[in-house]
Chain A
């Protein structure tokens, strides 16, 4: 068993806007690219050009179809990566101490030197957010790009996770959820940000911003204007009058 910090100074995480995400996979691929060259071992792919290619990804976009009883069917794109839980079961289950949560910022990491690839953490994670590297046989997971966000060798504006940097729609937001005045805290409050499966007691830090209500209130917008041709002269009569008003 591995211990969790009692609390962390910061609670870094992501606010992911499901009303804006178009499911383009930009976040997933930029994540794969950054973390294949990152501080850990590369994210491997096996049977890469074969019949059943598979690889380690730290972020995947899932697509769900919702068929409400009334109204059009909906498609929701749902990017999923580690939620950096306050009470991370993947940490406490780790037999070697490889899985850990940082006290300073709450990021959950794997120390690959200590990881024996037993896979218990992946079983313990209710979100399926951990993936075994198929070559190195060590557990891989979202690091919130810890090697970007503090990286003094890149411009300050770029010190955000690769997925946030890449996201073309601006659907991904990075910040400190421990600070109620941070942009992510305020955004989450304003949009009713949701914790994923909160009843499990894992205390996920990331928040999902649900689709706005506009999608279901679409019919309550504008009343059709009255016909222009109410006069006896019909449309051309309206036209003449309208032209005269123009001067």
Chain B
């Protein structure tokens, strides 16, 4: 039978109009083309011209349309009527909501500003939120970096003046070997995928080092199932082999690093281990021919990398490199010594080192582009060492994470592959070394702004934020205290537990934005829920007032008192700013905007506009004029007219009255329109001469200064040996003030090694090896971002369930089969989970997809949804504090340098639940009433998506 078929209409227009804005389905910030039909969003695709995604779009991005139509969207401000956690609210108007919030905030500001803790989560407006908190005068502000990956950022800034992801990227087009450590499917999402596609197209070898083989590691040409927490040991063993075989770039080390700098060798002195400096504070080096000691900027000197040299004061000093070589050439870093712990064979480690050396030195790249370095020397070519690395939380979320991240940068530096052709490349405005970074600012005085930004990079103990006793932390999260001296992103994960314990003090108002602290954004979820609901004897809550802003009906909503409903990302203005978390490409400075491509159909307001409104209501300097009137109409007005310094504002493009200036220039009222006309972003290419060696490139410096990226020229010498670390050690040794309390001295002495070092994660004690023989970690799925995805009817069909994946041998040993229920136990508690067998996994590691479990009643899901019945969080097993060790102290379960939450240190044991009758995960976490009802049963999308 042959039929005549009605030919489908092959040329139906997709939409009436395309509006170009920026995605917010994760932190990647791709450009999107949003198609509208009859004023409704009916299709979203990638913006081909956009520097981040170049047209492609991930699963989350395409599913953004279902986030826009999510039934979990909050509709109106809410005031709690039931107990915290119940989800019982009444809807109120914005006038009432804002008056109430302003009243609470103003009371605190008029009395004791530190009683406000303002923490934002996956905030992409930190330059606004931090400024607001600074103007308020509370020292208690940070975003979620302390929970996420501050080890990566801080180690990078201190060592090379940049870091992976937002501060730099692999040279995907030129590298000859790419190695990924601890990278799951995100950060950054599409650029990594695009880059991996390029590697594959060129046949470049990709090595994945991760306990779990999923996603990117699945396509790795070689995958190494490393034991969690031992990456630093593997890296330093690679360093050992490279040193031993002489496969290092000495010329690079001499030119761009502190390898030749002299370190004072005078064990009894208060400056032992600090750099020898001249009268002007310039570090000194020695001439290896004459032994004469001169300042580092002396060009003619042939620097020594080893030997002992006499300083002007008669004492001796040795080059950094000598100590470095001695440290890593010791047998403790030999492949044989690290093999058992890392689970990587010695021969594999040697071969890996050989492959790195082969790509770096035998396949050297030469780009014929003349350039001039910061010492004034002209180079005819740019020589590249085409080996790249990328790393993320897998290496950073450990209690040895800072040193591990430093070790990786050390490896990159030794082979000369930072910001060279084929290597790791900085993205504007980076590099920005510590010298160009602020110090942290604290203090708390009535109605008085802080003197500077909260978050910064301490140079030594003198920069800590301590009370006059030199011990008590100023901040509620104890950032920049002896607990976590270099906590450059704060410690969001400690805020609730410290506030609950009133240690160092109680607070009055907890103000959170876009952070699911009652659920997956906390360690120890059950305990945090208890702390949020705990009451005093007088019946009031221990944490008295909680204001929360979110777009959706998340778990945290139920635990707050006052809800300020935010818009979706398609209904708002935003600036993805160079002052904040930039989206630049190594070859271009870039920023972008969001703008309301549709108007909200609910009584909601963009959080940033609400924040400015609150600031004006309570008269914060810069937000209210002397007559008390708002300075900014809304966030869009702020984006265009706010100036951080004269001529410098949130957006770099189309500045100046006529839009002709870039980076520096007076505000342009038409700036947002210009961005919209350009597809929602701004991009200015870096001149060819300035594209590599930015840390020491005169053309880059001139260009960066001209375009407002930095205030003046800034040489960036890579810090193999990190002097600020040594300064903390000296304090611990009693040679510098302030000094840590005695309880902290040993910890600081050992963790603050000025050269990268490996030590076992704190949870890896001898007893843990016996009682909790397995490591437990999570991976983030490519098609889901934190807890946001489960409300999305498309994404939850992809990741609606997540078992605990268990190595085959462990399954066999415990009689576990797919679908069985197992009890997973840590020193902090027990959870009941469904299991699945997996062999592409380190043999002592179990894992699950991150944040699939949901609380009953949240996210407009059916209370019987799989996410609530079978879904689970391993967070219940993790504590903010380590188990007691008999010294009377409970140590923080965080990196001792930066305070990064060490949630990948988790140790567990597993057994089959003898009772298999129930098909539910444990613990049950109660339920919350949904303030937005439950999503519809059937969705045909016809009302929204039809073309």
Contact = CB atoms under 8 A, between A and B. Distances in A.
Interface string B928-942: 000000111111111
Contacts of A53: 793, 796-797, 800
Interface stretch (A82-90, A123-131, A177-185, A235-243): A235-243
Interface stretch (A7-15, A192-200, A225-233): A225-233
B216 A22 contact: yes
Contacts of B946: 37, 42
Given A166-B45, A166-B56, A222-B354, A77 B218 contact: yes
A75 B841 CA distance: 10
A218 B222 contact: yes
A93 B57 CA distance: 37
Contacts of B940: 41-42, 44-45, 135-136
A2 B63 contact: no
B45 to A, nearest CB: 7
Interface in B172-225: 185, 189-190, 193-194, 196-198, 200-201, 203, 205, 213-223, 225
A41 B839 contact: no
Contact of A24 (B58, B808, B869, B941): B58
Is chain A's interface secondary structure helix, strand, loop, or mixed overall? loop
B794 interface: yes
B14 A153 contact: yes
A223 B347 CA distance: 10
Nearest to B791: A49
User: In the complex, which range does the number of interface residues on chain A fall in?
Assistant: 35 or more
A138 interface: no
A224 B58 contact: no
A34 B57 CA distance: 13
B795 interface: yes
Contact of B797 (A1, A38, A54, A169): A54
Contacts of B439: none
A48 B859 CA distance: 12
A22 B223 CA distance: 14
A171 B935 contact: no
A42 B942 CA distance: 6
Contacts of A39: 8-10, 12
B51 to A, nearest CB: 15
Nearest to A162: B45
A45 B939 contact: yes
Contacts of B194: 168-170
Interface stretch (B238-246, B472-480, B501-509): B238-246
Contacts of A46: 937-938
Interface string B52-79: 0101111111110100000100000000
B62 A166 contact: yes
B48 interface: yes
Contact of B939 (A1, A40, A48, A97): A48
Nearest to B307: A236
B793 A224 contact: no
B357 A225 contact: yes
B246 A49 contact: no
A28 to B, nearest CB: 7
A150 B866 CA distance: 41
B44 interface: yes
A47 B942 CA distance: 16
A75 B213 contact: yes
Interface string B1-31: 1110110111111100000000000000000
Contact of A109 (B8, B9, B244): B8
Given A23-B215, A46-B938, A243-B288, A224 B225 contact: no
Interface-central residue, A28, A41, A67, by most chain B CB under 10 Å: A28
Given A39-B9, A74-B213, A165-B45, A111 B3 contact: yes
B11 A74 contact: no
Interface in B818-865: 838-841, 860-862, 864-865
A226 to B, nearest CB: 7
B937 A151 contact: no
A33 B945 contact: yes
Interface in A68-125: 72-77, 97-98, 100, 109, 111, 113-114
Nearest to B943: A42
Contact of B213 (A30, A47, A73): A73
Interface in A116-162: 134-136, 143, 146-147, 150-154, 157, 162
B11 A151 contact: yes
B225 A72 contact: yes
B305 A239 contact: yes
Given A23-B782, A29-B59, A224-B353, A44 B939 contact: yes
Query: Which 9 pairs show the lowest CB-CB distances between chains A and B?
Result: A228-B246, A49-B935, A97-B3, A168-B193, A37-B945, A24-B782, A73-B840, A169-B197, A75-B218
19 contacts: A20-B196, A22-B185, A29-B783, A34-B43, A37-B947, A41-B942, A42-B942, A48-B935, A49-B860, A55-B797, A67-B808, A76-B218, A151-B12, A170-B201, A212-B203, A214-B221, A222-B354, A243-B302, A243-B305
